[in-house]
Amino acid sequence: MNEAMVKRILITNDDGIAAPGLEVLIDIAHALAEEVWVVAPEHDRSGAGQSISLHTPLRVYQHANRRYAVSGTPADCVLFALAEWFGETPPDLVLSGVNNGANISDSVQYSGTVGAVLTAEHMGIPAIALSQAYLNRDGINWAPVNVWGERVIRALWQPEQPCCWNVNFPACEADEVREMRWARQSTGSIQRTQLLAGQDARNLPYWWLGFERSSRHIVAPDSDVAVLRDNAIAVTPLRSEAGLPGGATMVVL
């Protein structure tokens, strides 16, 4: 087993306590830390951003030793864990994910995966969000993050520097990944909002809110979208003053 990088890691996500990507991240975290805590939403809370529960109480369900489900948002999970279990000794690192699908371009601001990381950073704790892009939701290939996740986290986590990153793994085979690159968050994928109307059993109206997106919009070569298209790992700082260790491009193969 690889030498532990930190003493304690806290893991959360926005896909829920039963998400397959969470299991991927747990395996990675055990290679990095002496102690791994999992505090994740009870159900899928995708799109929650940094929202917290102010109008409903939180309920917590223990699934195993150091593994809990919370009835709230990813941000709730981070804040609850810090208050309930960590006290004066916060975790060395918060990891969020691995998200089912990329968190890039205009989706970043809504992402609960990213929201958890920003919440941790606001509390002074280094944090990294990890997401796995896919071409087919029914057959997600977790190989890139399985193979390269530990190495990427080791490269990005710097004890003496701020650490708040959004990391996206490309939709390809692990051996097709050649490098990880610093990437800017792109814009332009959301073309307009959409409303899908319906009626409930009492004939009262409701609406599903969504977006009309474009996957063919023009993006800069150093954007997160372009980096993933090149089968590279896209690393985007969520703090403007953060810099990628080793320069703008870091070869991992």
Q: For each successive 10 residues of the chain (253 residues), what is the average pLDDT?
A: 80 98 98 97 96 97 97 98 94 96 92 97 95 92 97 88 91 95 85 90 93 75 92 90 52 50
Q: Give 193-247 as a DSSP string.
A: EEEEEEE-TTS-EEEEEEEEE-SS----TTBHHHHHHTT-EEEEESSTT---TTS
Residue recorded with tokens 């996500």: 13
pLDDT score, position 67: 98
Residue 248 is predicted with a pLDDT of: 47
State the chain's maximal CA–CA distance in angstroms: 60
pLDDT at 12: 98
Phi, psi of 161 (to 5 degrees): -125, 150
CA distance to 35, 105, 127, 209, per residue, from 168 (Å): 25, 11, 14, 25
Residue 55 per-residue DSSP state: S
3-class secondary structure, 178: coil
Q: What is the pLDDT of residue 112?
A: 97
Structure confidence at residue 166 (pLDDT): 97
Alpha-carbon torsion (137, 214, 16, 124), positive or negative: positive
Residue 1: what pLDDT? 39
- Helices 143-156/20-30 angle, 10° precision: 40
Torsion angle (degrees, nearest 10) of CA 29, 183, 136, 193: 120
Amino acid identity of residue 25, one-letter, is L
Query: CA 240: distance to chain centroid?
Result: 18
Provide the terminal-to-terminal Cα distance of the chain, rounded to the nearest Å: 21
* Per-residue pLDDT at 13: 98
pLDDT for 118: 97
H helical segments located in the chain: 20-30, 74-81, 112-122, 143-156, 224-229
Q: How far is CA 87 from CA 39, 58, 70, 171, in A?
A: 15, 19, 18, 39
Q: What is the pLDDT of residue 161?
A: 73
